[in-house]
Amino acid sequence: MAAAPPDWELFVGRFHPLLVHLPIGVLALVGALEILGRWPRFKTAASTQGLMLGFASVSAVAAALCGWLLSQSGDYDPQLLRWHKWAGLALSTACLATLLLYRTGRSRVYHLSLAVTLAFLVVAGHLGASITHGRDFLTRYAPAPMRSLLGGSSVHPVDLLAADLPQRRVFVDVVQPIFQQRCWMCHGAGKQKAHLRLDSRETMVQGGKSGPALVVGKANESLIMQRLRLPLDDDDHMPPHAKPQPTAAEIALLQWWINAGAPTNGLVRDVPGGEELPRLLSGDSGTPGEGGG
């Protein structure tokens, strides 16, 4: 297992989210001014392009360096991270090339280079958002036809009081959507804070830096439940207090699922107590989970 990076690397690396927005805004403005500059009344709008491109280039390089340091934490999906790092390197290089072409007055090639730079900006930005917020960040709430075309998945709260709950698949239809909605932003396939993934039973049992998140058959000993039940203002409470919190009914369902052996196959009714689950949860359906359950 690779050694943990020194603290100073992670400290500097955490400036990446701040710095990365600078070249995004400036390059978007440069592109807009180039378009406006085609009309006579906006001809002078592009007069500061050189200064803006210089600022964008410096900030892009700084953001790329900080991003590389941040990536050493190992909390991110390796494939997405690799693509994002290459896209960030390409963007920084394209920025510098565009600035050089602008300074040398090669107008036609400069405009082509600027277009390529903006394309790299879109790609790097999308990959960065996917790492931070999940692969389906862009498509999650898109119209159904577009979401299907782009291979995205929707996220909807689970109706734990539905009459047909016992007929649903216990993991895919009932348990997994709770983790998807509440946990995957930080502990999914794209991002794994503390090296923890909560997108499958196997990764829950494997756990992360603090040990196994799931102890099969023992909800009270499972780190998942312990963190959910902590007071909302406790630093170890999960999800963080600024994130949407699971309801008491969702916490009660997770406790029932873990104590029942954390099954991943079959219907809810096949699990002990599954037929009575909607009635058992009905008293907890509307109460936010702030450490109870």
- Tens-level pLDDT at each residue, the chain (293 residues): 456 778 888 899 889 989 999 999 999 999 998 888 777 776 676 678 889 999 999 999 999 999 999 888 766 777 888 899 999 999 999 999 999 999 998 888 999 999 999 999 999 998 888 777 766 666 666 666 665 565 555 556 677 878 788 899 999 999 998 998 888 878 887 778 888 989 899 999 999 888 999 999 999 999 999 999 999 888 889 988 878 888 889 999 999 999 999 999 999 999 988 888 888 787 654 444 443 33
In a domain, 121, yes or no: yes
In a shared domain, residues 86 and 197: no
Residue 241: CB atoms within 10 Å: 13
For the chain, helix (H) and strand (E) counts, in that order, are 13, 0
In a domain, 160, yes or no: no
Confidence (pLDDT) at 3: 65
In a shared domain, residues 192 and 233: yes
Which range of residues forms the domain containing residue 233? Answer: 165-284
In a shared domain, residues 128 and 187: no
In a domain, 149, yes or no: no
In a shared domain, residues 114 and 171: no
* Whether the predicted model's global pTM rises above the 0.85 cut: no
| DSSP states of 12-70 | HHTTHHHHTHHHHHHHHHHHHHHHHTTSGGGGGGGGGHHHHHHHHHHHHHHHHHHHHHH
In a shared domain, residues 44 and 91: yes
In a domain, 144, yes or no: no
Number of domains in the chain: 2
In a domain, 147, yes or no: no
In a domain, 264, yes or no: yes
In a shared domain, residues 48 and 114: yes
In a shared domain, residues 104 and 204: no
Domain boundary among 133, 154, 173: 133
CB pairs under 8 A, 24+ apart, for 16-22? 16/63, 16/66, 16/67, 16/69, 16/70, 17/132, 19/59, 19/62, 19/63, 19/66, 20/63, 20/67, 20/128, 22/55, 22/56, 22/59, 22/60, 22/63
